[in-house]
Amino acid sequence: MSTDAPDLTNDGARSFRGIAFKTFFAVCAFLSILTTLAIIGTLLYDAVDFFAAVPPLEFLTGTEWTPSNEVYGVWPLISGTLIITFGSAAIALPIGLLTAIYLSEYATERRRAYLKPALEVLTGVPTVVYGYFALVYVTPVLDRILPLGTFNALSASIMVGIMIIPMVSSISEDAMSSVPDSLRQASYGLGATKFTVSTSVVVPAALSGILSSYILALSRAIGETMIVAIAAGMTPRMIDLTDPGGMFLESVQTMTAAMVQIGASDVVGQSTEYKSLFAVGLTLFVITFAMNLFSEWVSSRYREVYR
């Protein structure tokens, strides 16, 4: 009669692999945090020097941005960024949500398997291609209808909106697909139509994921660079809310476009104008970071837990 001895060799190997993978993942997480801290440190290092020359209150409340004249008011850049974000949101949020509803509730498994990857291909298109497409094709078409200039906020908003549609639709569809079928079946048992179930049951149940997709998509729009630099132009101006048409029909400059302009110019490396690039970058970082934190709060606040 023989007794099987425990295989200590295999147990030791499995234990070693577990420790190795755990250490590897911990290092990756640490590197991610370290990279973020390095970015913040780099921005702060030069931004502090900039704010030593330009008072922070003047920078944050100024309504004129003319670095060549040593005038650094960031509000024209913020207003240009917000108008692009608002225009792209008006396109991407409803279309993305409706697309998510179709993929989750109406499309067959076979059709979803083709449509969702095809839609997500849009996220792989280089943004410089979107920018040139807006400048060469979208603007001339719109110019036949509206009095547009060569550079304008409308065509840039349209292309940024198209670019972030997959983010809204993909995250929202994942949230809707996670809603238990028992909720749908209960609604059907009460005589509800598919449209009613989709809009009155599934969408409210997946609200946290949908809102998170909205905020993350807007954060992506705020940080977009090449589309706005190519299609929207380089004209920093305050947006006139009393002229809704003029907001989109004229050239604007976003924070990212201003950073491109400063970085590509012949400014001296240690000049105030050069260091304004880091002040604008820090402002943009704070805005997007706050939006991501808000997205996490919304997701946790409105998350539905099912058993």
Query: What is the rounded CA–CA span in Å between residue 210 and residue 201?
Result: 14
Query: What is the rounded CA–CA span in Å between residue 276 and residue 245?
Result: 31
| Unique residue bearing structure tokens 């001895």 | 5
What's at 107, amino acid-wise?
Answer: A
Over 60: is that where the pLDDT of 192 sits? Answer: yes
158-167, 221-230, 293-302 — which is least confidently predicted? 293-302
Query: What is the rounded CA–CA span in Å between residue 172 and residue 92?
Result: 12
The mean pLDDT value for 211-231 works out to: 88
Give the pLDDT band (50/70/90) at residue 148.
confident
| Mean predicted lDDT score pLDDT of the chain | 84
Query: What is the rounded CA–CA span in Å between residue 125 and residue 224?
Result: 13
Over 90: is that where the pLDDT of 98 sits? Answer: yes
Give the pLDDT band (50/70/90) at residue 94.
very high
- Percent of the residues in the chain that have a pLDDT greater than 90, as a whole number: 14
Q: Are 160 and 125 in contact (CB under 8 A)?
A: no
Predicted confidence (pLDDT) per residue in 49-90, tens digit:
888 888 889 888 888 888 888 888 889 999 989 999 999 999
Confidence (pLDDT) at 91:
92
Query: What is the rounded CA–CA span in Å between residue 122 and residue 108?
Result: 22
3-state secondary structure of 109: helix
Q: Are 86 and 159 in contact (CB under 8 A)?
A: no
Query: What is the rounded CA–CA span in Å between residue 175 and residue 299?
Result: 11
Give the pLDDT band (50/70/90) at residue 101.
very high
Predicted confidence (pLDDT) per residue in 156-181, tens digit:
999 999 999 998 998 898 888 888 88
> 297 vs 3, which has greater pLDDT?
297
Domain ranges of the chain: 13-53, 59-302
What proportions of the chain, in percent to the nearest 5, are helix, strand and coil? 75, 0, 20
Confidence (pLDDT) at 305:
58
Over 60: is that where the pLDDT of 6 sits? Answer: no
Query: What is the rounded CA–CA span in Å between residue 267 and residue 194?
Result: 61
At the second CATH level, the architecture of 59-302 is Orthogonal Bundle (1.10)
Query: What is the rounded CA–CA span in Å between residue 267 and residue 68?
Result: 10
Over 60: is that where the pLDDT of 2 sits? Answer: no
Instruction: Specify the pTM.
Output: 0.83
Q: Are 285 and 42 in contact (CB under 8 A)?
A: no
Over 70: is that where the pLDDT of 9 sits? Answer: no
